[in-house]
Every structure is written in structure tokens, then in C-alpha cells.
Chain A
Amino acid sequence: MFDLNVLWFILVAVLFIGFFFLEGFDFGVGMSTQIIAKSDMDRRILINSIGPFWDANEVWLITAGGALFAAFPHWYATLFSGFYTPLVVVLLALIVRATGFEFRAKSDHPLWKKSWDVCIFLGSLLPPLLFGVVFACFMQGLPIDKNMELKAGFFDIVNYYTLSGGLTVLVLCLVHGLTFTTLRTVGDLQDRARRTAQKLLPVLGILLAVFCALTYIKTDLFHERGTILSFIFGLAVIVFVLSGFFLSRKKDGWAFGMTGGVIILAFTAVFIGLFPRVMISSISDAFSLTITNAASGHYSLKVMTIVALSLLPFVLGYQIWSYIVFRKRVTEKSHLEY
């Protein structure tokens, strides 16, 4: 049953996972400007460490949105209209965050810097929190009616299950950002990043465990795909433990790979658990959006497949190249644009 609908489900999943892996550390770095930075210079180094990347990383989200629109118009329409207010908040957060990066260093006035610091912090904290909530909502199920309209009340979206999902993603991004910082900085700042990551790991472990347990109880995901999800869960435990191990050994590259691995595994599990549904209806199984009833026609998917598969290698190629160009650590002596 491997058809274009499945392929596009995978591509959408890859785009979202890529987004959480890449922009995940951006969010983490943004948050850490208020957690591990002791001076203005620390903050600038942190922001500059993601300077050449954050924009392209954010494009992963835009592309995921575009892919949803093109391949699964109903998923796009139900999701974006159904989560109207949370998305307004996400958009505002992304707006003030990006402008914060760009504008913060353009004046030395304390109020100017302070304001942008708040923007960068909240702008980096709210999106992962809210995306976590939204993805938890996908799994928990939402009141989607027979016309695919989602009219969610406040407590459909905000409850202990979704909040636990949001917090998990938030801390996950923070830890991922800290391991990224250990890779991109030197000296005291690097040490602080490493120590903070180590302190946060147990918290993250508990959050992940709680969220998995709640998912087991509150959703049908483990019921539907128990074997494979258990396998991923086991793998995630190993990767998680390894991230702690590498952090303590100061093998920063490996530690970063492992925190990224947890992100990849976590979101892979979400998508596999949902498959072939994309948004679960709590009113009736028949109303759930699936890769079939939410999708575009065959012709459109075929065109998009050809376009996407021919462009993707180039996109990945030059993005990787940019990471190679800027592989050197950022210090006080670097070219600090931000």
C-alpha cells in the first residue's frame, strides 16, 4: 500500500522532524540567552552562534506548511483554522524573535536591549511549547465534525495531557540548544551550557516518561502501533542515556547528536502512531482526517513528488555546506553581526 499519499505523509513528517531538530536548537539557544548568559557578550555570542542558520531553519516550518497545503489541503485547513489563536501566538512569537536577533545589537540603549532580550526569550519559548501542545492534540483527538471542521474549546486544546506534551517539547528543545551551544562556543560559556544540560537531563527524562505514560493511557497510539512504538521507545531510552554519558565525557558532538536523536525519535513516534490518520476526531473515528480523505488528487501529488525529489538534494546540499562554512566556534573575536 505504498503510494503517493504515504510518501507525502512521510515527506511532511520529515519536514516537521527536520524543523524540530534544526529550529529546536535555535529555540533552545534563544531560551538559554536568559539561562546561561552572564553578560551582554555571552548573549551576543549565543545569538551569533545560530546567526547564519536560524532563518533557513525556520524555512523548514514554512516548507512543512506549504507541503501540508499542497499535499493535504484538508489537514492544512482544519489545523490552521482549528488552532487559530495558538497559531496567532506562535506567529507573534516568531516575529518578535527574528526581529530581536536582527535588531538587538543595533543600539546600546539598555531598554532597547532589554526589550529585545524579552522578545528573544519568549519568542523562543512559546513556539516549542505551543507546537508540543498542538502535536499532543493531534494524538489525543479533537472535536472534528463530519465537515472536517474543528471547533475546539479551550480545554480541548489546553489540558494536562497537552500541557505535558508542550513542556516536554520545550525542555527537549532547551537541552538540544544547550548541547548545540557546547559545540559552538568555548570556555566558561561552554562549560555552563554543558552543566546546565546535565542538570536538565533528569527533568527531561521525567517529562518524557510521564508524557509516554499519559500517551499510553489517554490515546490509542500504543494500541494501534504497539510493537513499533515500544521499539522506538526503547531506542529513545538508550539514546537519552547516551546523551548524558557523552555530556559527562565532554564529547559534545556526540551529545548533540544524541539530543537531536531524542527529538527525531520522539516525533517519528508521533507520526507513526498517527498513521494513517493525520488528525484524530474525538467525535467519531469516521470523521478523523487521514492521508486519504485529506489529500490532494493523484496528479497533484505526482507533480509535487517530482518537484520535491529533484529539489531536495540541492537544498540539503547547500544547507549542509553552510554548516561546514560556519563550523568554527563563535568567540568574542569572531565577526559578531548580531
Chain B
Amino acid sequence: MDMVFLSRLQFASTTIFHFIFVPISIGLAFLIAIMETMYVRTGNEEYKKMAKFWGKLFLINFVIGIVTGILQEFQFGMNWSNYSRFVGDVFGAPLAIEALLAFFMESTFIGLWIFGWDRLSKKVHLACIWLTAIGTTFSAFWILIANSFMQHPVGYEINNGRAEMNDFFALITNGQALVEMPHTVLGALATGAFLVTGISAYKMLKKQDVEFFKKSFQIGITVALISTFLTMVAGHAQAQYLVETQPMKMAASEGLWETSEDPAPWTVSAFIDVDKKENTGEIKIPYLLSILSYNTLDGSVKGMNELQAEYIQKYGEGNYIPPVKTTFWSFRIMVVAGTLMLLFGIYGVYLGWKKKLVSKSNKWFYRFMVAGISFPFIANTSGWIMTEMGRQPWTVFGLMTTEDSISPSVSAGQVLFSIITFCSVYTILGIIMVFLFVKVIKKGPYLMDKKEEKVNSDPFAKEGFHV
């Protein structure tokens, strides 16, 4: 079997799986930090319970994020050794800094947070969850610096056939990172927030611990609305940056074969024929692509055919058009998911504003909110698929192709073996995670407390609430 295909398949599947847990970690860490802050400031035990309850879910999720993250760092070298040799000088630095700055911080302070409820003062304990949350953001920052270099390489020069860093400051102020970072982190906040609101909606539907989950819902929906809105703003900035730096990705995500008219319309949907390089049955909204690309009512956007001709001039013979259908549709899926999130957020905040959160008429809305747990994941995944597939055929835009990036010393059989084992283990982990989530959610925050009281007299039942 084809090594390039297998290596990509493994990287894509393990990364998509890993990125289910990362945004939950980032989002929940901040939400828990907010809840515990409210506890420390008001002294209201209810908020402590909240931090502990959501903390349970956080920890189940966090450990899977960690273990699948180790694999991420290893597989650059394992499956993409040529790539690693070529970019290590530039790309390795943010990864090393991520480990040193972010991973140590997260792992140490989450340990202190879990085991420190009785050992640390309230304020120090609160600081631990904030430091964990900040650590997750640092981690996102540095890995996105690395990713941005692949999208838009800066701060390097080519020496002895490899990219060497010559400007660290340029690397960490990469325009790509400056737009990618807020978009990703805010999206992660929204992910955590929709998880909290969805679960709270479920419990309110079940009429269990309604007061507790009403409060959680309120905190969650506020964060959900703000972060979803800001994610869109950042996404808009990212799209404009895309037009400048990776026009081919932009053209592919629009299914734009020929350079557009001026002003450019936005294609809502189309049947794309990649072989004939044409679309049929397009539905278009006039002006919108010009607005998206330039914030103005005019300006055309370059098409793939023209760019392909330009790139052949620049980089030599080759096909520089990414998988158009995937790029086109993943972008639209992301936009639809994001729009739904925004609408849900607005309506939820409105309900809270009108003090109508506990009302029979919300039944359908809450059902939608439960389904809404999945929307950020759909948006995150399709967004990353668009970003990474749209960069093809490059691993580092303009410098190195995906084909050239693989490990020459690794055989297809080895990769096949690792794909099968990782995917099996990951599937099992996914099932276990859902099982444990459901278990914790069903118990709810109070039952867990009841058993905890019992615990004091009987140490053997200490973790009775886990049963």
C-alpha cells in the first residue's frame, strides 16, 4: 500500500481523535476556573460543587487528551522523518517550548488541583485551576505557532537543504498564528461551553437537580454565546489572511475554478466536477465573497486555474490544486455548525435574561441543546480538515510537499500495524469515555456528595460515588 496515503491516514485519524479532547480540556478548564472563582468570592458551596462535578468530567477527558498527545509529538519523527529533518530547526523549537512551558504547567497544577482540595488554601487551590487553564492556552499557542509555519512559513532561511530559523520573533508573530490562535482557542471555549450547556439541558429535561444545572447552564450559555461570536470574528480575519497568503486554499474552499467576477459572489452550494474543472447548479449570494475577503463591496478573488498556472511558473510542474470537494464542503459544514451555535447561544441567553430557563416550553430547545454538544466538534473537525487538506500538496507551503515528507526507513506494513492498533485502542478509549461521562452525568452532583459523607466513616467506600 501507498506509504504517503497510510502516513496521512494515520496522522489525520489520530489528530482528529486527539482534537476531540483538546478543546474540551481548554474550554472546561476555563469554565471550572470561573466556577471556582465564584466559589472563592462568594463562599457559596454550590459553586464548589459545580467545580467538582464538571471537574470529574474534565479529568476523564483530560487524561485521554494527554495520552493521545504524546503520540502527536512522536509521530512527526516516526512517520514524517524527512519532514522533521527539513523543518526541525524551526518547527522543533515551538514544540519543545510547548512541553517546557505548557505541559509541565498543566500536568503539575492539575495534579495539585485534583489532590489538593484539603491540602491547599482556597486561593492557592483556585490559582492551580487557573494555571492549568492558562497552561492549556499556552499549549495551544505554541502548537499553533508550529502549525502556522506550515501554512505560512516565516522567520527562516534555507541552508544546506533545510529550513533554519533566523528570526524567532517573526516566527512567533506570524500573521497566520495571530488569526489562527484566537479562532482555535475561542472555538475551544465554545466547545467546553456547549458541553456544559448540553449536559445541563439534559439534566433539566430529566428534572434532576434543576437549580444546580440551571446555574451551570447560565454560566455555560453566556460563555458559549460570547466565544462563538468571537470565534466567528476571528474566523473572518483568518479568511482574509488566507486570501493574501494561501489564495489556492481560499479558491478551493470556494470551488472557484476561474477568477471570480468583481464584485465576487459567495457560492452556497454547487456540484463540483474535479475532472472537468467546473461546477454546475451553483447557488450564489452576490457581493458576499468580496465582503468576506476584503470587507468591501468590490474586488475579485483568484481562481484555481489561474493560480495553478502561476504556481507551475513558480514551483515547477505539478498539481497544486488541493482536494476541492473536501475543502469546499468542510468549510460549509463549519459555517453551518457555527451559525447554529450562534443562534442557540442567542436564544439561550435570551431565555436566561427573561428568567425563563425553567419552563415547560423549553423542552424542544433543550433537546436541541443536547444535540448541540456535537456542533462544536463538527465545526472544529471540519475547520481543521479544510485548513490541512486545503494546504495540500504541501506540508510546508511552498517549501516541501507531503510526498517528500514521509519516513524512508519505515515500511508500509509497520504503518498499517500502527494504524490498526492505534485506531482500535482509540475506539475503545472513546467508548469508555462516553460510558464514564454518562455514568457521572446520571449520578449528578448531589448523589456524589451523599456518598462522600458516607465515606468519612468508611474509608473503603471512599470512592463509592464512582460505582
Binding site for B on A (CB under 8 A): 41, 51-53, 55-56, 58-59, 61-63, 65-74, 76-82, 84-85, 87-88, 91-92, 94-96, 98-99, 101-103, 105-108, 147-151, 296-297, 299-300, 303-304, 307-308, 311-312, 315, 318-319, 322, 325-326, 332-333, 335-337
Q: Which 9 A-B pairs have the closest CB atoms?
A: A73-B88, A80-B77, A70-B92, A69-B92, A66-B96, A52-B111, A81-B81, A77-B81, A81-B407
A-B contact pairs, 11 of them (CB 8 A): A51-B114, A66-B98, A74-B85, A77-B82, A77-B84, A81-B408, A85-B414, A88-B417, A95-B429, A300-B93, A332-B459
In the complex, which of the residues A80, A94, A326 contacts B67, with contact meaning CB atoms closer than 8 Å? A94
Question: Smallest CB–CB gap between A171 and chain B, Å?
Answer: 25
Question: Smallest CB–CB gap between A255 and chain B, Å?
Answer: 25
Contacts of B168 in A (CB 8 A): 299, 303
Contacts of A52 in B (CB 8 A): 111-112, 114-116
Q: Are A81 and B78 in contact (CB under 8 A)?
A: yes
In the complex, which of the residues B88, B90, B104, B118 contacts A315, with contact meaning CB atoms closer than 8 Å? B104
Contacts of B410 in A (CB 8 A): 81, 84
Q: Which of B66, B69, B159, B421 has the most CB of A within 10 A?
A: B66
Q: A76-B92, A150-B409 are in contact. Are A311 and B78 (CB under 8 A)?
A: no
Q: Are B409 and A98 in contact (CB under 8 A)?
A: no
Q: A318-B109, A322-B111, A332-B459 are in contact. Are A96 and B425 (CB under 8 A)?
A: yes
Q: Which of A88, A105, A332 has the most CB of B within 10 A?
A: A88
State in angstroms the CA–CA spacing of A52 and B125 once bound together. 14
Contacts of A79 in B (CB 8 A): 77
Q: Are B119 and A326 in contact (CB under 8 A)?
A: yes
Q: Are B164 and A70 in contact (CB under 8 A)?
A: no
Question: Smallest CB–CB gap between A336 and chain B, Å?
Answer: 5
State in angstroms the CA–CA spacing of A103 and B87 once bound together. 38
Q: Name the interface size band of chain B.
A: 35 or more
Secondary structure at chain B's binding surface: helix, strand, loop or mixed? helix
Residue interface mask B438-467, A partner, CB < 8 A = 1: 010000000000000000000110110011
State in angstroms the CA–CA spacing of A248 and B85 once bound together. 51
Contacts of A63 in B (CB 8 A): 96, 99-100, 103-104
Q: A76-B88, A91-B74, A307-B100 are in contact. Are A41 and B60 (CB under 8 A)?
A: no
Interface set, chain B 84-137, CB cutoff 8 A to A: 84-85, 87-93, 95-101, 103-105, 107-112, 114-120
Q: Are A67 and B165 in contact (CB under 8 A)?
A: no
Contacts of A76 in B (CB 8 A): 76-77, 84, 88, 92
Q: Are A312 and B107 in contact (CB under 8 A)?
A: no
Q: Which of A61, A107, A148, A299 has the most CB of B within 10 A?
A: A299
Contacts of B459 in A (CB 8 A): 332-333
Q: Answer whether residue B63 sits at the interface, using C-beta atoms and an 8 A cutoff.
A: yes
State in angstroms the CA–CA spacing of A81 and B409 once bound together. 7
Q: Which of B76, B111, B466, B467 has the most CB of A within 10 A?
A: B111
In the complex, which of the residues B93, B425, B439 contacts A92, with contact meaning CB atoms closer than 8 Å? B425
State in angstroms the CA–CA spacing of A315 and B97 once bound together. 12
Q: Are A319 and B104 in contact (CB under 8 A)?
A: yes
Q: Which of A69, A77, A148, A325 has the most CB of B within 10 A?
A: A69
Q: Are B77 and A319 in contact (CB under 8 A)?
A: no
Contacts of B418 in A (CB 8 A): 84-85, 88
Question: Smallest CB–CB gap between B15 and chain A, Å?
Answer: 14
Question: Smallest CB–CB gap between A156 and chain B, Å?
Answer: 12
In the complex, which of the residues A66, A71, A303 contacts B100, with contact meaning CB atoms closer than 8 Å? A66
List 13 additional contacts besides A52-B114, A96-B425, A336-B462; criterion CB under 8 Å: A53-B111, A55-B107, A67-B99, A70-B88, A76-B76, A80-B81, A99-B63, A99-B432, A303-B165, A307-B97, A311-B97, A311-B101, A322-B108
State in angstroms the CA–CA spacing of A72 and B89 once bound together. 8
Q: Are B108 and A318 in contact (CB under 8 A)?
A: yes
State in angstroms the CA–CA spacing of A71 and B84 once bound together. 12
Q: Are B89 and A296 in contact (CB under 8 A)?
A: yes
State in angstroms the CA–CA spacing of A240 and B420 once bound together. 43
Question: Smallest CB–CB gap between A77 and chain B, Å?
Answer: 4
Question: Smallest CB–CB gap between B132 and chain A, Å?
Answer: 11
State in angstroms the CA–CA spacing of A300 and B462 once bound together. 51
Q: Answer whether residue B166 sits at the interface, using C-beta atoms and an 8 A cutoff.
A: yes
Q: Are A296 and B92 in contact (CB under 8 A)?
A: yes
Question: Smallest CB–CB gap between B159 and chain A, Å?
Answer: 7
Contacts of B408 in A (CB 8 A): 81, 147, 149
State in angstroms the CA–CA spacing of A80 and B445 once bound together. 45
State in angstroms the CA–CA spacing of A98 and B72 once bound together. 16
Q: Are B407 and A103 in contact (CB under 8 A)?
A: no
Q: Answer whether residue B300 sits at the interface, using C-beta atoms and an 8 A cutoff.
A: no
Q: Which of A41, A55, A82, A311 has the most CB of B within 10 A?
A: A55
Contacts of B76 in A (CB 8 A): 69, 76, 80
State in angstroms the CA–CA spacing of A59 and B101 once bound together. 11
State in angstroms the CA–CA spacing of A320 and B99 once bound together. 18
State in angstroms the CA–CA spacing of A101 and B63 once bound together. 9
In the complex, which of the residues B111, B409, B466 contacts A106, with contact meaning CB atoms closer than 8 Å? B466
Residue interface mask B385-414, A partner, CB < 8 A = 1: 000000000000000000000011110001
Q: Are A95 and B99 in contact (CB under 8 A)?
A: no
State in angstroms the CA–CA spacing of A58 and B110 once bound together. 14
Q: Are A300 and B164 in contact (CB under 8 A)?
A: yes
Q: Answer whether residue B1 sits at the interface, using C-beta atoms and an 8 A cutoff.
A: no
In the complex, which of the residues A41, A55, A87, A149 contacts B111, with contact meaning CB atoms closer than 8 Å? A55
Q: Answer whether residue B73 sits at the interface, using C-beta atoms and an 8 A cutoff.
A: yes
Q: Are A332 and B425 in contact (CB under 8 A)?
A: no
Question: Smallest CB–CB gap between B145 and chain A, Å?
Answer: 12
Q: Which of A105, A148, A296 has the most CB of B within 10 A?
A: A296
Question: Smallest CB–CB gap between A331 and chain B, Å?
Answer: 9
Chain B residue with minimal CB distance to A48?
B115
State in angstroms the CA–CA spacing of A307 and B100 once bound together. 9
State in angstroms the CA–CA spacing of A139 and B101 once bound together. 31
Q: A56-B107, A73-B92 are in contact. Are A335 and B407 (CB under 8 A)?
A: no
Question: Smallest CB–CB gap between A30 and chain B, Å?
Answer: 14
State in angstroms the CA–CA spacing of A65 and B103 once bound together. 13
Q: Are B112 and A62 in contact (CB under 8 A)?
A: no
Chain B residue with minimal CB distance to A302?
B168
Contacts of A81 in B (CB 8 A): 77-79, 81, 407-410
Q: Answer whether residue B71 sits at the interface, using C-beta atoms and an 8 A cutoff.
A: yes
State in angstroms the CA–CA spacing of A322 and B104 once bound together. 12
Contacts of B462 in A (CB 8 A): 335-336
Q: Which of B84, B96, B436 has the most CB of A within 10 A?
A: B96
